[in-house]
Every structure is written in structure tokens, then in C-alpha cells.
Amino acid sequence: MNLVVEQSAARWYKQEMGLTVGDSIRIYVRLGGCGSVHPGLSLGVTKDEPRSIGLREEIDGITYFIEEDNLWYLENKSLRISFDEKYEEIIMTVE
């Protein structure tokens, strides 16, 4: 199980969220949306301080993480976060 944040996605988050070195981004399970793993649930993103990190990836001084109590959502798979240049949107893929 891994968390992979592609460089293009990291650049997008940095620009759109005004992130600076030392900031942390939490990826969490939320009710609603178009999740591909569990119907009625999807992944959300927020700027937050880490508490109990289950998976993490650091890019350009910014930490992206999923807390231990949300790892069940991935079902022992990995999460890849990429950026679609054509549609200018983030894509989260559980693989």
C-alpha cells in the first residue's frame, strides 16, 4: 500500500491552495461524491496537521498523508494522485 503524488498534482495543489514548505495535506474519506472503491464515499483533501499518519509522501517540502483510521478505504491497494492537463483537474486512482 502506497501513496503516490505525481509532481504535476503537487504543483497544482501548491498553486491552488497557496501551500508553502512545511504545510501538510490530509487525504480523508468523506460521505458522498464519486468514489470508485466504496459506493457513496469518496476522498477529500484539506490542509491539516498530521496526527496518526498511515501513509505519507513528501514533495517539495509539502507532506501529503492519509491517517491510519482511513486506510481501510484503500483495501490494501495504493492511491495515485495525478493531474489531468486537458481538463485541469486532479485524478485520484486506487490501484
- Number of domains the chain is built from: 1
Domain harbouring 43, CATH code: 2.60.300.12
**Per-residue confidence (pLDDT) for residue 37, from 0 to 100:** 74
Strand order in the sheet with 24-31: 41-47, 24-31, 62-67, 53-59
Q: Structure pTM?
A: 0.92
Q: Give 10's Cβ-side CA count (13 Å radius).
A: 19
| Residue span of the structural domain in which 19 resides | 3-94
**Per-residue confidence (pLDDT) for residue 38, from 0 to 100:** 76
**Per-residue confidence (pLDDT) for residue 19, from 0 to 100:** 98
Q: How confident is the chain (95 residues) per 10-residue block, as mean pLDDT?
A: 98 97 97 74 95 96 98 95 96 94
**Per-residue confidence (pLDDT) for residue 35, from 0 to 100:** 63
